[in-house]
Amino acid sequence: MSKVLIFTEIYENDFDSSVLEMISMLRDLNIDSKNIIVAALGDDLYSKESILQNIPVGKVVGYKNIDTNQFNPNILMKLATGIIDQLLPEKIIIPKTSVGQDLAPRLAFKYKYGIVNDCLSIEESDNHWIGVRPVFGGNYLAKVKIKSDKQIFCIRTKVFDEFDEKNINPSIEFFEYEHNIETNSQIIERIQEQSDGIRLEDADIVVAGGRGLGGPEPFDTLEEIAKLLNAAVGASRAVCDSGWKDHSYQIGLTGKDISPNLYFTVGISGASQHMAGCSNSKHIVSIDKNVDANIFKDAEIGAVGDWKNILPGFLDTLQNLVKN
């Protein structure tokens, strides 16, 4: 059985938890975690051995004293290339994080690996791995087989539960980087979005509005509801592209990926590209005037009608409920 390599990011105090999801996914394919090698990407890994020790696989490899210039993709590419040169893995798994989705195709082209991007899962058939991935914004699912033996699968995060066996510890091997790590592109500054409330990605409840709201003003009501529910506010792309809300509010394929307990939408039709970012919500509850809107295919509770009339009844009742 050939070994499988997973790439993962190592931060200041922890590894990216998506690696645990990848291990779960591989377990479903009967790959024992002891047969997995994790390639760690991060700054100054030599000082982070205690973090690497906690990754429950057979082996962890990484470069010793590197400054990745804040995960500069062009530098990560060089490091990943070095690791592949050492290990020559056949199968590579890359979680579709911001770093991973950039790295996966780069490696594929560099090494002529076949790649299936954005997989929701991998199925096995006749000893072949087949990536299952959404196309056309999620309107369709495609099953894709890579013809060569050298394969990269980039896997969506938050689809698999985290692997939670704690009593597996890896052997750790550090490499020395011997080539020139300099790149033409340098990250000179990081600017974090200002947000006063709860982060969309962390919220237990998300209240979101769409084009059906007709303008920026009704978002005040959504903010009010969110405040009462201790929720974060989000929006569809139509809203952000119209400038009613900043793009940091956008949920979906090209926006944020959320997984709240309750996702509450108003005037969002439920286009597949939107649902791509919220289908991991536990419960979806929607208000829309169109009973045939797509959103009601995913929603568990629906209210059909004009939000201008429904929301006041909702808000008044909510205020009473909260008071008591």
Partner 1 sequence: MKILVCVKEVIDPEVPVNSIDIDSDLWKFSPKQGVSKVLNGFDENAVEAALNIKEQIPATDITILSVGKDFSMDVIKKPLSMGCQNLFLVKDDKLDQTDPFVTSNVLYKAIRKIGDFDLILCGRHASDWDNAQVPIGIAELLNIECVTLAKGITVDNNEIVIDRIIPGGIEKVKTSSPILVTVSNEYGEPRYPNLRGIMAAGKIQPTIFSLEDIDLTDEDLISTNEIIEIFIPEKDSNCEFVAGEDEYDIGRNLALKLRDKNLI
Shortest Å distance, C-beta 237 to ligand FAD: 3
**What is the C-alpha separation between 245 and 243, in angstroms, rounded?**
5
Residue 276 bridge partners (DSSP): none
Contact with partner 1 (CB under 8 A) among 48, 59, 237, 274: 237
Q: Do 18 and 8 touch, CB atoms closer than 8 A? A: yes
Nearest to ligand FAD of 83, 251 (CB atom): 251
* Residue 191 engages partner 1 in binding (rule: CB under 8 A): yes
* Residue 211 engages partner 1 in binding (rule: CB under 8 A): no
Q: Do 201 and 260 touch, CB atoms closer than 8 A? A: no
Q: Do 89 and 37 touch, CB atoms closer than 8 A? A: yes
- Selection from 272, 267, 263, 252 nearest residue 229 by Cα: 263
Contact with ligand FAD (CB under 6 A) among 4, 293, 299, 311: 293
Q: For residues 244-273, which are near partner 1 according to CB under 8 A?
A: 247-248, 253-254, 256, 261-262, 271, 273
If 0-12 CB within 10 Å is exposed, 13-18 middle and 19+ buried, where does residue 216 land? middle
Shortest Å distance, C-beta 320 to ligand FAD: 23
- Pairing status of strand 283-288 against strand 262-266: parallel
Q: For residues 272-311, which are near partner 1 according to CB under 8 A?
A: 273, 283, 285, 287, 291, 296-306, 309-311
Nearest to ligand FAD of 84, 293 (CB atom): 293
288 binds, among partner 1, ligand FAD, none (CB under 5 to 8 A by kind): ligand FAD
Contact with ligand FAD (CB under 6 A) among 35, 183, 254, 280: 254
**What is the C-alpha separation between 95 and 111, in angstroms, rounded?**
19
Residue 279 — left, alpha, or beta (φ > 0 → left; ψ -120 to 50 → alpha)? alpha
Q: Which amino acid is at 165?
A: E
Q: How many residues bind partner 1 (CB under 8 A)?
A: 87
Enumerate binding residues for ligand FAD (CB under 6 A): 137, 210-212, 236-239, 250-255, 267-269, 271, 273-274, 277, 288-290, 293, 306-308
